[in-house]
Each structure stands twice: as C-alpha cells, then as structure tokens.
Structure 1
Amino acid sequence: MKEIEIYVGEEDNERLDFFLSLELDEFSRTRIHKLIKDKLITVNKSFKKPSYLVKEGDTILVQLPEPKILEITPENIPIEIVYEDDDLAVIDKDYGMVVHPAPGNYSGTLVNALMYRMDNLSSINGIIRPGIVHRLDKDTSGLIVIAKNDKAHRELSEQLKYHGVYREYITLVHGNVKQDGGTINAPIGRNQRDRKKMAVTDKNSKEAISHFTVKERYGKYTLVSVRLETGRTHQIRVHFAYFGNPVVGDPVYSSGKNEFNVKRQLLHARKLGFTHPSTKTKVEFECELPEDFKKILAKLQREVQ
C-alpha cells in the first residue's frame, strides 16, 4: 500500500477534504471522502471527519490501496477509421464517446472499440489506455491518432510534447468575436474552488496557447477555427470562456442560453497533422463537421441572409 505524508503549513486553515483536494489534485473530492470514510487518512495518527479544520503542524498520512487488476473487454462498437497502417490509426470520434475506460465507466469507450478491431495497440499507457496518445473530451468530436506499437507511441508523444502535431478545431462560440484572429496565451490549471473544472490561473498552472481565426459571424454567435499550440485539459473551452465567448452548448464553462438545445459543446477536431513515425513524411487528415453541427450553422446562415 502506497503512503503519502503531507505536512500542514502555517497559512492553511481549511477543511480536511478541501485541503487534500488541493494538495492531491489528481484525486476528486469524492475519492478523498471515500478514503476518509474507509479510515485510510489520519491526522496526527488519529481519524478525523472531512469537516476537520487542518492547522499548522498537522501531519496527514494518506494510504492508497493497490489498484485492482482490470480487464477491458473488446466491444463491437461502430467507429470511423479515417486511416490505418501497421503503426497507427486515425479515428473520427463521434461526440458522446469516452476515449478510454475510467472508474465507473469500463465499457462503451473508444478503447473498447479499438480492441475489437485491431490486433495491436501500444502498451505504454497500460491496460486502461492502450494506444491512446492524446485525448478528446467525451462530447468533443473529431480526429484522434492511435498508436499501434510502442515505438510509434513514443515518437508521436514527443511530437506532441514539442508542438510538432498540428491540431485544428472548429467551434461555435457565444457573442461576436471582434478580432478577425489572434492568440490567447493564458496559463491553465485546476479551478481552486471546483476541482472538476479547469481555469485560467497563475497557481499550479501550465502554459496554454490557442491561435484562432474567425470564419463566420452570425450576430449573437461566431464560428471560429482554433489551432492548439499546447494541449491542456479543456483548453479551448476554458480559453474562450475566459475570453468572454464560451463555446455553445458547453455544460461546464458556459452560462449562455442554449437556444439550439444541443446536448454537447459545439467543438470539433477538424484537422490533424504530424510526421509519420516510420516514413518520416508529413501527413495531414481532415474530417467533416458532424450533422448536428452543420444543421445549426445552416440555420444561422439562413437567419443572417
């Protein structure tokens, strides 16, 4: 069993559960509550309630049980394979599909579908995320590259790390974006008050850069093309909410009216380009907007004519 020891400094005077959610940002507050309930967290060698107020000098010991060995089942789920060879595959992921299994959600994912269709997937990310080099949010549609062996995985990961992968998205945002284009350079980290959200912040954050070009204006809405220089969690959604133009349909970062009654954020990974790990040639792929997205744009186009 892994153990983590945390010493409380003089400036901390918060609830135990909230304090730990900040210190252990990879854990949700729900998981921390369960660890406290299961008596796997002690303060000064004593069990405390989640509401206990930590104070200077407290020593917190967190015991983490060994992860259970999981088996991911191949499933015959329809997916659109845009390109495939011995090293990689490019998938046009539908919105509503989770990329890889996670606690409480071990089926119906892209990984389950890949395991059914492909004999080989890279092993670098373990049993839960075989082949997964990068992610798309559940309700973001579009292109994602899959590695079929570890060599391809390592090379694609290096390209991502050093900004060698071209990723272009199309999104519909609220409001009239006044600039024809520009760059949003604002660091992103965990929202300090809601650990399920990301935010533009200087605290425990990483550089995040998004380049955008306005494609069309529809009065109350703007169609924008966005090229990612970095790839932080929820980057486009967070950046445009921070910019004052949240993505239409975003259930987390937009408080704007959802007049189209869409069930997801209108964000689509349209283009993906990289250097092929074996041939060393530049390759680029493009896919169409999903039908729901196209119908909304057609409606808006009729209204402005």
Structure 2
Amino acid sequence: MIEYLKYRLDVFLKKQFDNTSRETIQKWIKGGLVKLNGQVQTSTKILVSSDDDIVVDKIPEQKITISPIKNNLKVYFQDEHIIVIEKTADLISHPAPSIPKDKHTLVNYVLFHSKKLADTAGNNRPGVVHRLDKDTSGVMVFAKSNEAYYSLIKMFEKHKMRREYKAVVWNWITEDQIYKDPLGPDPNDFRKRTVRIDGVKAETIVQPVKVFGKERISLVNCTLHTGRTHQIRVHLAYHGFPVVGDPVYGSDQRYLKNVNDNDLLKIAVKDNSRQLLHAHTLGFKHPITKEEMLFHSDIPQEFYDILDKCEDV
C-alpha cells in the first residue's frame, strides 16, 4: 500500500496555481471556495495528499492589462497562427497578479512582434502553451490564433513536441542516462518539486556532450519525454549532477569550497547570474499546415564563460 505524503492545503494549491500568491490562495480557502473530498474546507493548515479530491470553485481572474513593449527579441518564425522566439534568461514568461505591474515579461515582448496572441489561455497568459523557468533561456512557441492554441496544447499533452536542452552540470556524466523518477510537490517547500513515490510520471534522457578534467563538470544534452515543472533540474540534482548556477536545486558552493579563491573557474561561477540550462531545440508539426518545423538556438555566452575556464579530460 502506498503511503501518500501529507502537506498543507494552501501549500498543495499553491503548486496547482503556480502564479497565484499564497495569500490569495488562503483567501480562497477561508472564503469557502475550496472543497476537500466533497466538503467545503476553510482551514488552510489541514493536511492533505495527492490522493484527496480537492476542488476549487470558479475564481474570477484578476484582469491585467498587457501592453506590448519594444525590444530586440529574436524571432525565428512568425505567421498568422504562431510565433517562435528565443527567451533570454532573467525573464518571467507571463504576467500574474503576484508580479509587480512594472515588471516586464516575455509576453509583453512577444506582443510587440506578434501584434496579437491567442486569448483562450486567459487574460494573463495570452498565447502561452508552455513555459521556461525564469532563468532558463531558449526556444519557445506562442499561439497567435485560438485554433493554433488548442492544437499546440494537445501536442504538448501527448508529448509530441521535440524538446532538447543543453545544461552545464557538476560531476562527470560519461554515459547516456534515462531518468524516470516520478515528481511531485516538495512538502517542505511549496516552491520546489521533488522525487516522490506518489508523484506524476516524468522521463528525461541525458547524454554527455563533453566532460572536463579536475573541475568535474559536464556539458550534457537533455531530452524531455514529459514536461513537468523543474523536471530536468530535479532529475539531474537527484542523481548527483546539479545544474551549475541553479539557486534552488544546485550546490555551487559545495563543489567550490576547497578551491582557491583566485581560481578562474571559481571566480566565473561566482560572477555567473543564472542557471546554465538552455532550451536549444524545439520541433513540432505546424498546428495548422502540419508542416514539420525544427528550430535550434545557439548555446549562450554564459555557458562559455564557465566552460572556457575548465580543462578538457
């Protein structure tokens, strides 16, 4: 019999409503908008598990005005149905009530180039069919028409998108790896994911590209067969290969604690401001024309700022 991990109701819901503040979620619960196993539940602290039936009544979406902002975003492809762009690091994918109004998001930038985006995803997420973490860069597709939106969403749900990432990780990966550890919310930190026996299916294929000598660093290619939150970062860290620069699952200081402060790699890692994870390949059938489409993005300079300080094996 599986013993399900327990965590607070507000923490559980925070994971389901990723872009909603915990304070807002607590108001939903106290306001009687949440049912637990068929009964209205107003306690935010009651412990629940993924085996419980939790329903949130329809919540009025807080309307956010999204204005196009002029930018130099790289556009790979655009027609009347989709736009394919390159996201830079340190950029949130879309607006949310918890994000300051003066904070620019990727949607603001995309809208400048596309002029319109599909509105079926909600007022705060126009055109959004997938996301990259704030400090992950790389290729993304947005839907401009509602028809394209529904088709792309179905492709993601059925894992028919080709998604490959490059990552710089600590330790040597010298052979291909297949990670199938199920993932779920971390009961100790609502912002994180962790490997759990009662988690959802997740599969990542990791292939070494190059390994580096005394620094014990690897450049790897990661292919997603599912698309869970933080999937690559959690799988790599769980198996002992945390992404360099990852502020949540990484451990840069652990690997550098015995390194001289004047070491060029140590200086470069300290100066690095992002996790070294980049979505370099995105492939799919055009949602309307069914044409095969494949986009590649170059590895960012920040990767070379680290790798150039390493010695080849």
Instruction: Evaluate the alpha carbon distance shift between residue 68 and residue 248 of structure 1 in structure 2; reply closer, same or farther with a 3 A threshold.
Output: same
**Where in structure 1 do 4 or more consecutive aligned residues deviate above 3 Å?**
17-20, 22-25, 27-36, 39-42, 44-48, 61-67
CA distance in 2, matches of 1:278, 1:31: 38
- Structure 2 SS opposite 1:73: coil
Please list the CA deviations of residues 25-74 of structure 1 after superposition, one character each: whole Å capped at 9, or x if unmatched. 435644455668xx6479x99998x77x88xxxxxx99997443221222
The more displaced of 72-81 and 167-176 is: 72-81
Give yes or no for the alignment of 1:263 onto 2:258: no
1:41/1:62 contact within 8 Å kept: no
Give yes or no for the alignment of 1:246 onto 2:242: yes
Report the AA paired with residue 242 of structure 2: P
Partner in structure 1 of residue 297 of structure 2: 287
Instruction: Evaluate the alpha carbon distance shift between residue 123 and residue 243 of structure 1 in structure 2; reply closer, same or farther with a 3 A threshold.
Output: same
CA distance in 2, matches of 1:183, 1:87: 35
- Which protein has the larger Cα radius of gyration, Structure 1 or Structure 2? 1
Partner in structure 1 of residue 63 of structure 2: 69
Instruction: Evaluate the alpha carbon distance shift between residue 267 and residue 47 of structure 1 in structure 2; reply closer, same or farther with a 3 A threshold.
Output: closer
1:29/1:195 contact within 8 Å kept: no
TM-score norm. by structure 1 comes to 0.81
Partner in structure 1 of residue 178 of structure 2: 183
Among candidates 101, 115, 122, match of residue 126 of structure 1: 122
Partner in structure 2 of residue 91 of structure 1: 85
Percent identity of the aligned residues?
A: 36
The more displaced of 215-224 and 165-174 is: 215-224
CA distance in 1, matches of 2:57, 2:159: 37
Partner in structure 1 of residue 158 of structure 2: 162
Count of aligned pairs: 280
CA distance in 2, matches of 1:125, 1:46: 28
**Shift in Å, 1:231:** 0.4
CA distance in 2, matches of 1:156, 1:140: 21
TM-score norm. by structure 2 comes to 0.79
CA distance in 1, matches of 2:283, 2:40: 53
**Shift in Å, 1:304:** 3.0
- Structure 2 SS opposite 1:304: coil
CA distance in 2, matches of 1:230, 1:62: 26
1:88/1:146 contact within 8 Å kept: yes
Report the AA paired with residue 105 of structure 2: T
- Structure 1 SS opposite 2:190: coil
Runs (5+) with no aligned partner, structure 1: 1-10, 55-60
1:133/1:146 contact within 8 Å kept: yes
Runs (5+) with no aligned partner, structure 2: 34-38, 48-54, 257-265
